[in-house]
Amino acid sequence: MADIKDVIERAYRESYSLVLSGLARRLGDIDLAEEAVQDAFAEAVRSWPVSGIPVNPGGWIATVARRRAIDRLRRERSYAHKKELLASLEKVEAQRTLATVAAGMRDDRLEMIFACCHPSLDTDKQVALTLRTLGGLTTKEIADAFLVSEATMAQRLVRAKAKVRDAGIPFTVPTGPDVTDRLDAVLSVVYLVFNEGYFASSGDSLVRDELAASAIELGRMVVGLLPGSDECRGLLGLMLLQHSRRVTRADEGGNMILIQYQDRSRWDREEVAEGLEIVTSLGDPSGPYAIQAAIAGCHSSAATWEATDWERIVSLYDRLWALTGSPVVALNRAVAIGYAETPEAGLAAMEGIDLVGYHAFHASRGELLRRAGDLDAAGEELARALQLSANSAERRLIETRLATLKPATTGH
């Protein structure tokens, strides 16, 4: 039974977004497709322990999901457009067998992400819908990532899926100027999905590797669509370089390990090499993702933490800050200044940054204060960071750093 459970979980990770994207493209209705795919996995849980594991679990899920969609449409076939969908699905069903489904499955995820990133949806809905459809996250997990209630996120997802259905948003990759117009949103969402996998905003695990890997795969698809785009390649290079460190970011107990203490010999050398090759090909970076990739390249090419080219990193953050005006970029720039110059210089660079409700701001400020010798103020900042952090691994790290300050702050 445990083996079947593992197979079903693996099928979910490997097939959920593929099957959902293909069915949603045919139906034009994410909600209906999602219900059908969930029905298929529920049927797998019921039947596989009895009938055995199918030769191709993904093909089995795709077939059953399509049949469940047909069943749902038959119950609601009073609508003319649903009759057309039903006729189309029934024709496919008559022509396909389980063996041909797996062989004929096309990858519709690129179409799905362009649908999720349609300009008629605001950014929050774009990201939430992508995390749900392509990342397979539960409503609660997405709610935790956005720091909102599960009920609020459920309503947001319902509205987003209804908008896609009712507005007839096409599940196609746009052509010509429309691709460029939508590209910023697509790249932003892909990176946000990656970040949720690379550094889970909540929960017990620091890394959700299947989500980060899925984002990298989407990044490769976008590069394949627009191979001449420095920003597309820059995003892919950035994700590869960050992902290369995944096995060294936490110890066996799930405790977070900062980059300066990571075993660089265990970084994924293939991903580092590919990422650095992309960074080199970009030359003098000018776009946000290309610049961030260059910053990641500085870390990945340094043999040790002490050998990091902090002056180069500061100059890249100067460029990125001028380009984006982002307070998070300003924070990272200040941290880099704290290493390139002195902790006091880093603290001075933090003045005026409006991120008082952001846990990383307080954690970074606390570390600079510790290095500057102001342990009482450092403790206050780290305590505030602990209050604001929702990730268990990060909270344990902050607690450890706080514990090292206790003798100095309590007088014991």
C-alpha of 365 from chain center? 26
Domain range for residue 24? 1-106
Assigned domain for 40 exists: yes
Cα–Cα–Cα angle for 225, 296, 346, rounded to 5 degrees: 135
pLDDT exceeds cutoff 80 at 10: yes
Assigned domain for 3 exists: yes
> Quick check: pTM over 0.75?
yes
Whether 191 contacts 148, CB under 8 Å: no
Ranges 1-5, 126-130, 312-316: which has the least confidence: 1-5
Sign of the C-alpha dihedral, residues 257, 263, 269, 272?
Answer: positive
Q: pLDDT tens digit string along 113-172?
A: 889 988 889 888 888 898 888 878 888 878 877 768 899 999 999 999 999 988 889 888
Whether 376 contacts 411, CB under 8 Å: no
Per the prediction, the chain carries an average pLDDT of: 86
Q: State which of 28-37, 207-216, 285-294, 402-411 shows the largest mean pLDDT.
A: 285-294
C-alpha count within 13 angstroms, C-beta hemisphere, residue 181: 9
- pLDDT for 407: 53
Q: pLDDT tens digit string along 70-111?
A: 888 887 655 555 555 555 555 554 445 444 444 444 578 888
What's the rounded Cα separation, in Å, for the pair 233 and 289? 8
Assigned domain for 150 exists: no
Assigned domain for 46 exists: yes
What's the rounded Cα separation, in Å, for the pair 239 and 190? 10
Assigned domain for 302 exists: no
C-alpha count within 13 angstroms, C-beta hemisphere, residue 244: 26
Assigned domain for 158 exists: no
Query: Can you list the alpha helix ranges (DSSP code H) found in 117-229?
Result: 123-133, 139-146, 150-166, 177-198, 209-225
- pLDDT for 86: 57
Assigned domain for 9 exists: yes
Number of domains in the chain: 1
- pLDDT for 410: 40
- pLDDT for 36: 93
Task: Give percent of the chain with pLDDT exceeding 90.
Answer: 47
Q: pLDDT tens digit string along 217-242?
A: 889 989 998 899 999 999 999 999 99
Assigned domain for 370 exists: no
